[in-house]
């Protein structure tokens, strides 16, 4: 829905009649009362039409100069908001606006020849991010020149906002994060801008791993609560669901799992109301991960709930349409089924389901295409086999040993992961039924070598200690028994 705000009362009736004649009243609303709704807005004021910066991420966020109000220019601006560039160019009766639209067809450099150097520079910067893949390497330098040239505080904030979104795929520098926060606290900006900047700041703080503590957790909670209240007040369900997901992450970091679960359930409700099954499935994946974590903290009743959430996600992520996500889910299900506490007669059922899920994961994550993930699946599958019923049988143990060896061969350059797999392999060697004394001596030698490697790698004090225990056990009869999932 496009919202047109009209300060000029004399234009109110004319605009309404124009929209009726073009059959646009179901797509566009007009008001002379300003609201802070997160929708694209056009402003008609003092015989001028202006397009406000789009903070909603609903379209290509280009900026265009104000032009004189005429019915034709209004239609042109409506076309611009709707990203109907050709129609916008053909509709306008303002040559300067037509020239700006023409710049979209000619590329970023076309804007350098236009008047209003501030807006043209911003558009060059934005097009380099969103439209011209070959220009993306120039974005950092364009950002520096643009932020220096722009004088308007709101437009400076707008440029920083989109630069941070560009950097989101890598690591956002602390100075950009702090610029977002400073702009977001500027009460001279529109409320819409303030809240969008604060939301972006919190989102990046949760994903970019800022160096050092920029602000405390309590302050982060205050900011996100402020954004949540704002979005709830303006009835913006999509943005609200995103904020609920961030709030759950903060609660998980704070080990408030019940609170985090409540936020995720609320986000699921919002996405269901919006009929967005893919996003419902994504939150179900986060919910399953949370429930699994919670279960391992001493609340085993959540193992089953975690499995149910993964199964809900599988309703959307099927093998044919989402093979990678399907395999990722089955990797986690393989672990969960193996850890599920149950009576012995049910343990065999869960073990069979666990093995089936691991095989689904390995079918997609091959050693050649996904070596690191393959190693993780092998490690966890082998660990699960050690927990399956009748795991003392040589067939199962040998299978586990082979999977551990596969994982170990790939993890040589990762000391922590290598040590983790090596320790679990040591446990499997203790349980193995070696066919003769020759194999016994060979494996004892391999065990000493593994333990010494773990000690040399020094991945963690605990791992070094366990490796030393294994070395001592090789001299005596003590056999430590502890395996860990990666």
Q: What is the pLDDT of residue 144?
A: 93
Confidence of residue 269 (pLDDT cuts 50, 70, 90): very high
Answer whether 0.95 is exceeded by the pTM: no
Confidence of residue 478 (pLDDT cuts 50, 70, 90): very low
Contact predicate 279/269, CB 8 Å:
no
Q: Rounded to whole angstroms, what are the CA distances from 302 to 30, 142, 287, 290, 351?
A: 50, 50, 11, 9, 18
Q: What is the pLDDT of residue 292?
A: 97
Going 56 to 58 to 59 to 65, the CA torsion angle's sign is negative
Least confident of 76-80, 213-217, 466-470: 213-217
Q: Over 434-457, what HEC string results?
A: CCCHHHHHHHHHHHHHHHHHHHHH
Contact predicate 471/482, CB 8 Å:
no
Q: How far from the centroid of its chain's Cα atoms is residue 275's Cα?
A: 20
Contact predicate 427/391, CB 8 Å:
no
Q: What is the pLDDT of residue 367?
A: 95
Q: Over 191-247, what HEC string results?
A: HHHHHHHHHHHHHHHHHCCCCCCCCCHHHHHHHHHHHHHHHHHHCCHHHHHHHHHHH
pLDDT digits (tens, 9 = 90+) for 349-395: 999 999 999 999 999 999 999 999 999 999 999 999 998 887 444 47
pLDDT digits (tens, 9 = 90+) for 274-289: 999 999 999 999 999 9
Confidence of residue 300 (pLDDT cuts 50, 70, 90): very high
Per-residue pLDDT at 460 exceeds 90: yes
Least confident of 43-52, 63-72, 100-109, 348-357: 100-109
Q: Give kind and range of the element (H or E) at residue 50.
A: strand 48-51
Q: Over 291-343, what HEC string results?
A: HHHHHHCCCCCHHHHHHHHHHHHHCCCCCCCCHHHHHHHHHHHHHHHHHCCCC
Q: What is the pLDDT of residue 38?
A: 47
Instruction: Check residues 327 and 203 and name the one with the higher pLDDT.
Output: 327
Q: Residue 355 CB: number of other CB atoms within 10 A?
A: 18
Spatial distance between the Cα atoms of 332 and 86, rounded to a whole number of angstroms: 49
Quick one: what percent of the chain has pLDDT higher than 70?
A: 89
Q: Which of 185, 149, 174, 146 is nearest to 162 (CA)?
A: 146
Spatial distance between the Cα atoms of 223 and 228, rounded to a whole number of angstroms: 9
Q: Residue 312 CB: number of other CB atoms within 10 A?
A: 17
Per-residue pLDDT at 271 exceeds 80: yes
Q: If you average pLDDT over residues 445-452, what whole number do you get?
A: 94
Q: Is 4 helix (H, G, I), strand (E, B) or coil?
A: strand
Spatial distance between the Cα atoms of 415 and 335, rounded to a whole number of angstroms: 23
Per-residue pLDDT at 182 exceeds 90: yes
pLDDT digits (tens, 9 = 90+) for 89-125: 888 888 878 877 876 666 555 555 555 578 888 988 9
Q: If you average pLDDT over residues 407-419, what whole number do you get?
A: 95
Per-residue pLDDT at 479 exceeds 70: no
Provide the 8-state DSSP code for 476. Answer: S
Q: Which residues contact 237 (CB under 8 A, 6 or more apart)?
A: 270, 273, 274
Most confident of 68-82, 137-151, 277-291: 277-291
Q: What is the pLDDT of residue 393?
A: 46
Spatial distance between the Cα atoms of 448 and 438, rounded to a whole number of angstroms: 16
Going 313 to 239 to 291 to 391, the CA torsion angle's sign is positive
Q: What is the pLDDT of residue 449?
A: 94
Confidence of residue 210 (pLDDT cuts 50, 70, 90): low
Q: Which of 254, 334, 248 is nearest to 290 (CA)?
A: 248
Per-residue pLDDT at 299 exceeds 90: yes
Q: Which residues contact 241 (CB under 8 A, 6 or more apart)?
A: 266, 267, 270, 271, 274, 279, 283
pLDDT digits (tens, 9 = 90+) for 309-352: 999 999 999 999 999 999 999 999 999 999 998 767 788 899 99
Least confident of 15-29, 64-78, 186-200: 15-29
Q: Where are the alpha helices (DSSP H) in 107-216?
A: 117-130, 139-149, 153-167, 174-184, 191-207
Q: What is the pLDDT of residue 416?
A: 96
Structural tokens at position 353: 């389901």
Q: What is the pLDDT of residue 262?
A: 97
Most confident of 62-76, 153-167, 381-395: 153-167
Q: What is the pLDDT of residue 270?
A: 95
Per-residue pLDDT at 423 exceeds 90: yes
Quick one: what percent of the chain has pLDDT higher than 90?
A: 50
Q: What is the pLDDT of residue 464?
A: 96
Q: Which of 53, 131, 62 is nearest to 101 (CA)?
A: 62
**Considering the chain, what is the average pLDDT of its residues?**
86
Q: What is the pLDDT of residue 87?
A: 86
Q: How many CA atoms lie less than 13 Å away from 130 in the CB half-sphere?
A: 17
Q: What is the pLDDT of residue 392?
A: 44
Q: What is the pLDDT of residue 49?
A: 87
């Amino acid at each position: 829905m496009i919202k047109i705000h009209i300060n000029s009362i004399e234009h109110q009736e004319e605009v309404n009649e124009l929209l009726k004649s073009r059959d646009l009243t179901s797509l566009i609303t007009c008001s002379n009362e300003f609201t802070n709704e997160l929708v694209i807005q056009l402003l008609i004021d003092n015989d001028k039409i202006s397009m406000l910066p789009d903070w909603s991420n609903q379209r290509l966020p280009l900026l265009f100069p104000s032009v004189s109000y005429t019915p034709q220019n209004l239609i042109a601006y409506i076309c611009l908001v709707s990203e109907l560039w050709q129609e916008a160019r053909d509709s306008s009766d303002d040559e300067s606006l037509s020239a700006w639209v023409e710049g979209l067809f000619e590329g970023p450099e076309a804007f350098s020849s236009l008047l209003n150097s501030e807006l043209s520079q911003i558009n060059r910067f934005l097009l380099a991010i969103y439209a011209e893949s070959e220009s993306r390497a120039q974005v950092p330098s364009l950002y520096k020149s643009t932020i220096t040239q722009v004088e308007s505080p709101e437009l400076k904030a707008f440029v920083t906002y989109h630069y941070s979104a560009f950097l989101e795929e890598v690591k956002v520098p602390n100075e950009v994060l702090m610029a977002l926060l400073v702009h977001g606290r500027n009460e001279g900006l529109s409320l819409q801008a303030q809240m969008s900047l604060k939301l972006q700041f919190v989102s990046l703080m949760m994903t970019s791993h800022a160096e050092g503590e920029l602000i405390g957790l309590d302050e982060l909670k205050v900011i996100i609560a402020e954004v949540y209240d704002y979005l709830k007040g303006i009835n913006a369900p999509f943005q609200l669901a995103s904020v609920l997901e961030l709030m759950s992450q903060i609660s998980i970091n704070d080990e408030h799992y019940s609170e985090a679960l409540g936020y995720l359930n609320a986000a699921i409700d919002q996405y269901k109301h919006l009929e967005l099954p893919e996003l419902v499935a994504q939150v179900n994946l986060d919910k399953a991960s949370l429930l699994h974590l919670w279960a391992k903290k001493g609340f085993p009743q959540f193992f089953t709930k975690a499995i149910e959430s993964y199964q809900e996600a599988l309703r959307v992520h099927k093998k044919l349409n989402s093979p990678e996500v399907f395999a990722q889910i089955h990797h986690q299900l393989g672990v969960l089924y193996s850890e599920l506490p149950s009576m012995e007669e049910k343990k065999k059922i869960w073990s069979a389901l666990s093995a089936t899920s691991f095989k689904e994961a390995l079918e997609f994550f091959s050693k050649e295409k996904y070596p690191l993930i393959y190693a993780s699946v092998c490690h966890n599958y082998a660990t699960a086999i050690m927990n399956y019923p009748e795991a003392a049988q040589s067939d199962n143990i040998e299978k586990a040993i082979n999977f551990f060896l596969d994982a170990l061969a790939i993890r040589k350059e990762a000391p922590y992961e290598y040590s983790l797999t090596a320790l679990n392999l040591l446990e499997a060697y203790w349980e193995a039924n070696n066919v003769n004394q020759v194999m016994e001596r060979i494996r004892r030698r391999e065990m000493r070598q593994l333990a010494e490697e773990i000690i040399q790698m020094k991945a963690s004090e605990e791992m070094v200690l366990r490796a030393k225990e294994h070395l001592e056990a090789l001299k005596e009869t003590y056999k430590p028994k502890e395996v860990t999932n990666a």
